[in-house]
Structure 1
Amino acid sequence: MVRAIVCAFVLTMSTWVSAQLVVEVTQGVDSQSPIAIVPFEWRGDQALDEDVARVVEQNLERTGFFKALARENMLSFPTAQSQVFFRDWRMSSTDYLVIGRMESVGGDQVRLTFELYDVLKEQTIHSQQVSGSRTNLRDLAHYVSDILFEQLTGIKGAFSTRLAYVTAESLGPDRQRFRLQMSDWDGMRPRTLLESSEPILSPAWSFDGSRLAYVSFETSRPAIYVQHLATGQREQVQSFPGLNGAPAWSPDGNQLAMVLSKDGNPEVYVLNLSSRHLERITNNSAIDTEPFWAPDGRSLYFTSDRGGSPQIYKYNFNTRAVERVTFEGNYNAAGRLTQDGRFLAMVHRGSSRRFQIAVQDLQNGRLDILTNSDYDESPSIAPNGTIIIYATQQGSRGVLGAVSIDGRVRFNMPVPQGDVREPAWSPFLR
């Protein structure tokens, strides 16, 4: 529990480096759906800087739900329906086929026409035209991936979302450079939002994806900041004596829950960002920390050791009652809820004494352990509720790991060297 509050000082003990994340699928579903993403035809003079079909292929395959047919094993490369011979794709044991063609439509704009086919039924599942900038072809690829994923699974795709995370680079004895980074969901196109010689902690997305709250030690003590992503403008929203940490946005974006120790003990407070009114939510001799909101905004969850060990509790704004939510295991912390409010992801420690990612079904109380490593932390859930990303260890290095909410799909997102921590998955951005 104390580790969760003073983790800033633990982080400074690691040798971190800012670099691009790389998705490595380590476990997929038992029966992956075979799919072929044929290279999209380009009808233009100047070659494109990005292979859009390849990005779509990688997106779908990295979920663990699909197995893409290698291009060298394709018998043909159709770009229009009249060129599709379904018997060829059945011979390749392909269930689904995606073809497309791209053309310039003026300026830097390109148009992509694509079709999705059911090979066994020899039917068109979906066809669509989409446009985008040739300077942001990955955005176009992610959007197409979202459409295909939803058509094939019934689940809204989350490929157009973003990740925020913290890295650091060793500059020598007792000198480090910390960075708050934002990237595509797959770690590509990272950019630095803040760089500091002091630790940065706890990035948290607003529910509309327009702002990030985080903790920075740039004034030599922890303070909470909000950064507007469109403009880069940032402001310090609170800095009381003692601990200022763990910011969490309300669903309407008007309030921030946070942990303050200004009155002596770490307690959960809620700050109204318009009126600057500060309300104390918890009042207990135990340590209360790591607040997060229910999607409907009617309650606030937090971690507390008031029962003798860290567990997750729920505060009801209407009744002001507090009830314990987790009971299995001697440590449950860092909770996060799916957008439907049904599943609670957390860091769990049971009889094995290992810190692992677990999920509890709040409807029936069932708890499932999803990971098998020894030291996992900081879970964050994709906005479609399918994947949990978290910080873990790979050998002596810290990496980001991910696991599906049913535990059947796993992948890591390591950097070439060093560590990365504090992942936060954005909401849907379109």
Structure 2
Amino acid sequence: MPVPLRLPPSLRARLPLPMLRPITVVASRFFTAFWAALAVCLTVIPAAQAQLRVEMSGVGASQVPIAVVGFRNEQSVPQPLSQIVRADLERSGLFRGVDAPGVLDETTQPAMADWRRRAADALVGGSVTRLADGRYDVRFKLWDVVKGTELGAQSTVVVAADLRLAAHRIADFIHEKLTGQKGVFSTRIAYVTRMGKRYTLNIADADGEGGQIALNSAEPIISPAWSPDGRELAYVSFETQKAVVYVQEVASGKRRAVANFRGSNSAPAWSPDGQTLAVTLSRDGGSQIYLMGRNGDNVRRLTQSIGIDTEPVYSPDGRSIYFVSDRSGGPQIYRIPAAGGAAERITFSGSYNISPAISPDGRSLAYVSREGNAFRLYVQDLAGGAPVSVSDTSDDESPSFAPNSRLIIYASRSQGRDVLLTTSLDGKIRSRLVSSSADVREPVWGPYGR
């Protein structure tokens, strides 16, 4: 007798119902739970109950020892900027913090011999000055301790609310100078939490701090997707007792329904220029991929399959769309020209592959593959090579690349809770973002710029 397949909750919600019926017997119970009382709040408010904490579980093979010394006058702000910078760098797995007592500003010439004795390869110092208008002047300098030279310095003036952002940008600068790769500490993530019968769509810094609630509902929220400019989020809400695709402005909370057709409306994905949305609709019968304008106009069908086509995602150049289809039997990932044409199968390893994500540099495909009753995250080089498993969990879902293409955020279950995890493309650098009071799922990494 075959073992019933247990899909993770948000995968059950995201996939079209026809694809679920031959797979799981719990789908009807899941969709029955949607018919609760409507209660939606669109105001962006602090999400204290959804704050995440970071737990590192892996580091890079070669870490840069760096001393981040206390900034002059940083005791005048709620959280010392040097602490945020050091935490960012250590969280990347590429840096090891060196004990750095005292204070060092950007105008002081450090005693390099002392820092060499502390085994530091790099050194950071800075200052925070409150201006007469209430803003803050933030300055820092980065030194190469081994060579005894300056590597760069910057200054910025910010309002109090942007002090954490200033610290994240300092960490980005240091990361790029020392690794050659752009940092992502100043970017944002969006994710969904569930606490009891309440669902919230949240926006937070990449480290999980500064969480804000963008949507509060008694009904499930799934498939958030950032617009390329980071100003809007598309998502699916079940607040009207059916799946409807909305686009919401991040700053104002204003939103519009862009797909509310007969049947299912799901899995929104933005084109790189932000002018087109790819969505999954079942308005003409089976679930297929459609394209529409960013306001829901000019709807046209892209795929013409007798199977189920879902979970579209654009390639970075906008020329292709990757999606999931069961046209060959089990779900596999395909690619089709965005202008229309023949679809090409991409995944061949494994009988059940879903949830594609393409790295911003266009080189890598992340997806979830079923192994028995487990779902695991895989990464495949699109230029060739075998897919590689990069997780040690078994309920993985919703992979999303960081804008530097070096990290992936995804959801899974760990110790009985739904949590978010990040991993490097080789699976060696990992961290968890967990909430003490809610299940966390449906992550998506935002673009550069804010």
Fold equivalence (TM over 0.5): yes
Secondary structure of the equivalent of 1:41?
Answer: coil
Q: Which of residues 244, 258, 267 is equivalent to 1:223?
A: 244
Q: Which of residues 20, 42, 45 is equivalent to 2:51?
A: 20
Secondary structure of the equivalent of 1:159?
Answer: coil
Q: In the alignment, what sits opposite 2:310?
A: 289
Q: In the alignment, what sits opposite 1:38?
A: 69
Distance 1:61 1:42 in 2: 23
Q: In the alignment, what sits opposite 1:55?
A: 84
Please state if 1:64 is matched with 2:96.
Answer: no
Q: Which of residues 143, 146, 150 is equivalent to 2:176?
A: 150
Letter in 2 for 1:310: P
Change (3 A) 1:276 1:51: same
Distance 1:409 1:129 in 2: 31
Unaligned ranges ≥5, structure 2: 1-6, 21-26, 35-47
Distance 2:433 2:295 in 1: 38
The answer to whether the Cα contact below 8 Å between 1:18 and 1:167 also exists between their aligned partners in 2 is no
The answer to whether the Cα contact below 8 Å between 1:313 and 1:323 also exists between their aligned partners in 2 is yes
The answer to whether the Cα contact below 8 Å between 2:302 and 2:340 also exists between their aligned partners in 1 is no
Q: CA deviation at 1:366?
A: 3.0
Question: What RMSD, in angstroms, separates the aligned Cα atoms of the two structures?
Answer: 2.2
Q: CA deviation at 1:337?
A: 0.7
Q: Which of residues 258, 267, 279 is equivalent to 1:258?
A: 279
The more displaced of 153-162 and 59-68 is 153-162
Q: Which of residues 396, 407, 414 is equivalent to 2:416?
A: 396
The more displaced of 306-315 and 270-279 is 270-279
The answer to whether the Cα contact below 8 Å between 2:406 and 2:424 also exists between their aligned partners in 1 is yes
Distance 2:352 2:49 in 1: 31
The answer to whether the Cα contact below 8 Å between 1:117 and 1:123 also exists between their aligned partners in 2 is yes
Q: CA deviation at 1:256?
A: 0.9
Distance 2:161 2:273 in 1: 33
Letter in 2 for 1:256: L
Q: Which of residues 159, 169, 172 is equivalent to 2:185?
A: 159
Distance 1:265 1:60 in 2: 47
Distance 2:276 2:243 in 1: 19
Q: TM-score, normalised by structure 1?
A: 0.92
Q: CA deviation at 1:82?
A: 3.9
Distance 2:295 2:441 in 1: 31
Q: CA deviation at 1:282?
A: 1.3
Q: CA deviation at 1:354?
A: 3.0
Letter in 2 for 1:88: D
The answer to whether the Cα contact below 8 Å between 1:11 and 1:199 also exists between their aligned partners in 2 is no
Q: In the alignment, what sits opposite 1:346?
A: 367
Distance 1:97 1:327 in 2: 48
Instruction: Count the aligned residue pairs.
Output: 417
Q: Which of residues 376, 384, 389 is equivalent to 1:364?
A: 384
Q: Which of residues 195, 202, 209 is equivalent to 2:223?
A: 202
Q: CA deviation at 1:390?
A: 0.3
Q: CA deviation at 1:276?
A: 1.0
Q: In the alignment, what sits opposite 2:151?
A: 125
Give the % identical residues. 42
Q: TM-score, normalised by structure 2?
A: 0.88
The more displaced of 376-385 and 228-237 is 228-237
The answer to whether the Cα contact below 8 Å between 2:278 and 2:292 also exists between their aligned partners in 1 is yes
Q: Deviations over 1:233-287 (max 9, x none)?
A: 1111111121110011111111111111112211111112358111111122211
Change (3 A) 1:292 1:319: closer
Secondary structure of the equivalent of 1:27?
Answer: coil
Change (3 A) 1:385 1:275: closer
Q: Deviations over 1:329-366 (max 9, x none)?
A: 1222101111111111111235x653111111111233
Q: Deviations over 1:147-197 (max 9, x none)?
A: 111111111111111111111221xxxxx1111111111111111111111
Q: CA deviation at 1:293?
A: 0.5
Q: Which of residues 85, 99, 107 is equivalent to 2:133?
A: 107
Distance 2:80 2:295 in 1: 45
Q: CA deviation at 1:127?
A: 1.5
Q: In the alignment, what sits opposite 1:136?
A: 162
The answer to whether the Cα contact below 8 Å between 2:258 and 2:296 also exists between their aligned partners in 1 is no
The more displaced of 106-115 and 333-342 is 106-115
Q: In the alignment, what sits opposite 1:92?
A: 118
The answer to whether the Cα contact below 8 Å between 1:18 and 1:179 also exists between their aligned partners in 2 is no
Unaligned ranges ≥5, structure 1: 171-175
Secondary structure of the equivalent of 1:141?
Answer: helix
Q: CA deviation at 1:5?
A: 3.1
Q: Which of residues 248, 253, 272 is equivalent to 1:232?
A: 253
Distance 1:338 1:127 in 2: 30
Q: CA deviation at 1:315?
A: 0.7
Distance 1:231 1:77 in 2: 40
Change (3 A) 1:319 1:278: closer
Q: In the alignment, what sits opposite 1:379?
A: 399
Please state if 1:181 is matched with 2:202.
Answer: yes
